A and B are shown apart, each in its own frame.
Chain A
Amino acid sequence: MAHAIEITNLHKTYKGGWSPALDGLNVHVREGQVMGLLGPNGAGKSTTINILCGLVTPDNGTATIFGKDCIADTLTLRKMIGVVPQQIAMFGNLTAWENFRYIGSLYGLTDKQTKDRAHDLLVRLGLDKHADKRINRYSGGMKRRANIIASLLHQPSLIILDEPTAGVDVQSRAMILDFLKEYNQKGKTIVYTSHLMEEAEQICDEVVIIDEGKFIVSGAPLELINNTTDCKRLEDVFLHYTGHSVRD
């Protein structure tokens, strides 16, 4: 299977940063896979995602998505990827529907395309009865679900989700994870970051653990659990490789 993402020897040190955010990172994600990018705070997950989105330029190394360079071909790539940021990146004073209509028009979709796509996603994520409510009046879980819909209106081939279930209740989390699995079954590639190992174990075909900007280990969750001494869960594997010391 071809690679959807190829990250090779990626280096990045921010101005004024006292240590590199990425220090020769190598990661490969196959097409149609759900890949969990795991790591403690400051491991370099957000920097990796920002480079993939073309928001941050690496000092060295290459990152490609579907064979296109993330920096040189940013604008082309942004049509192919859907990014679900950790924050609710929507206009709080607009209703969900107004948000989708605006975002759809910026993607160049017709009103009908936006309406049809948004409607399907609203129904699937249980927000169809709340489409005319302002985002500010949504609960945390509803906001997260609306945030995902906004990132999928242009039907991207690759979805990058940065902690999509942070701070949501069990029901919303279950709905989001089911939706992602279903979406993956349509052949879409998903890159996903989370601090919830149980969730990653449940949804990911493969996980990559990074720390201090470096690749540590990768593999299917079950394979990693089996191959690591005294590990019964993915969280044990994670702690085995990244240690127990608290990160700032």
Chain B
Amino acid sequence: MKKILATIQKEWILLRRDVAGFMLLFLMPAVLIVVMAMVQDAPFKDYQELRFDLLLADNDHSRLADEIKFGLKQSKNFHVVDSIDGKPLTEERLMALLKGGKYRVGIVIPQGATAEVINAANTVANRISEKIGMGKLPAREMRDSMYVRMYFDPVSKPTFRMSISFALDKYITYSCSNLLVSRLGKLGMSQGETIDTAQSDEFKRIFQGIGIKEEPLNEKGEITKFISSVQHNVPAWAIFGMFFIVIPIAGNMLREREERSALRIQLIPHAQNYVALGKIFFYTLICSAQFAVMCAIGLWVLPHLGLSALYMGQHPMALIPIALCIALSATAYGYLVGVVFKTATQATPFGAISVVIMSAMGGIWVPLDLLPGVMQNLAKVSPLHWGLDAINHIILRNGSFSNVIPHLIVLIVFSTVLLLISLYVSRRRTHSIQ
């Protein structure tokens, strides 16, 4: 243990004296977070039109539901999933599927929705008929709220939610208009009279009773927070910055090989293993510290720049093991690059570019749901994806430690594999010169 601590102390002294390297580790991701959060604040509100699977549970089984379904099915933006394995989708099943993470949005049409719309149409028709002295349709007192509920994965962007909300609103309005026209037709009004009247404020006010309510969904079905520029950029660029540890680690290892201090370590019995452990431990701690600093920026600096503060979820302590696992992965990757490459000229550009590629693949630059299917599958190769998704579970979906265990396992396996490869390459290199 003393040997590992001595190595940690030595690495700390070396890092402290490498001002540029130190700045690279902390300042670069901090600047990235601030700049990207500000730059992406507006574009995060835009949305590219893509085709999405949309879950639909029909508890109404009547005209309004049929017209909404018909409208959505006609749209090029949505692929409506209202039954699975030949069975109509229930609200419970819809929630379970959303919880599974495969689907991003679900719509539940409440029981009695059509009846409520008919009642509203009858009420409007009766008020109009009163003015012109015609007959009366059956109508009861209107209910305060009857909502078509929309459930979203909290990761979904605001513009995505808006586009679905608009589409749904359009189909409900269309359906309501049709019903009103038909109710007025029953009273014997002409089309001209009905249209004039249908455009009245009264009509709009009454039909607000059939509204749409957006609700983000977490694993427990609790309402949580939608993704924003800050919620995306702080963890994303913090992870990106953590993986940039590859440059100081690889640089440090190559410098030690070049100045031959690595040979000195090799000549001390059993020292190599302790030194390797000390290095890994030290850089894992540094990466974790990076993450903490970036979260602190999200919590206390960004609000001063007119952005929202980072929301840490209901189980912020679960971020500690996540940060440690991401840090370990980043360190293991840096260690591998340091072992594999022979010169800093090779290792530095490779390290930097490979981190950029892995981050692009892992959804750091653009949220994964906007990428093509192939890229979404390919993302699973990137440890940055697993790290970011784990953090999203905590800070967006209000998940707890148990929700991110699979992510942590993937990150630990990734780190272990890289460290084993490093060990193998290191030993092979020693033997290959002989």
Contacts and interface: CB of A to CB of B under 8 A. Distances in A.
- The binding surface of chain A is classed by DSSP as loop
Given A12-B434, A88-B259, A94-B14, 9 more contacts: A14-B434, A15-B434, A78-B268, A88-B260, A90-B259, A90-B264, A101-B6, A102-B7, A106-B265
A90 B2 CA distance: 20
Which 10 pairs of residues, A with B, have the shortest CB-CB distance? A105-B6, A89-B264, A87-B260, A89-B260, A106-B271, A78-B269, A75-B269, A102-B10, A106-B268, A91-B261
Interface residues of B, number: 29
B18 A105 contact: no
Interface string A187-219: 000000000000000000000000000000000
Contact of B259 (A53, A55, A91): A91
Interface residues of A, number: 31
B256 A91 contact: yes
Nearest to B268: A106
A51 to B, nearest CB: 10
B13 A56 contact: no
A57 B14 contact: no
A7 B375 CA distance: 61
A85 B434 CA distance: 19
A105 B6 CA distance: 7
A101 B7 CA distance: 11
A127 B122 CA distance: 102
Interface in B11-26: 13-14, 17-18
Interface of B: 2-3, 6-7, 9-10, 13-14, 17-18, 255-256, 259-261, 263-271, 274-275, 432-434
A94 B13 contact: yes
Interface in A70-113: 74-76, 78-79, 83, 85, 87-94, 98, 101-103, 105-108
5 contacts: A15-B432, A53-B267, A83-B267, A85-B264, A92-B255
A21 to B, nearest CB: 10
A194 B10 CA distance: 33
A53 to B, nearest CB: 6
Given A15-B432, A91-B256, A78 B267 contact: yes
Contact of A107 (B13, B259, B260, B268): B268
A161 interface: no
B6 A102 contact: yes
A56 B14 contact: no
A164 B133 CA distance: 117
Given A94-B14, A98-B10, A85 B260 contact: yes
Contacts of A83: 267
A57 B430 CA distance: 10
Contacts of A76: 269
Given A79-B269, A85-B264, A92 B259 contact: yes
B259 A106 contact: no
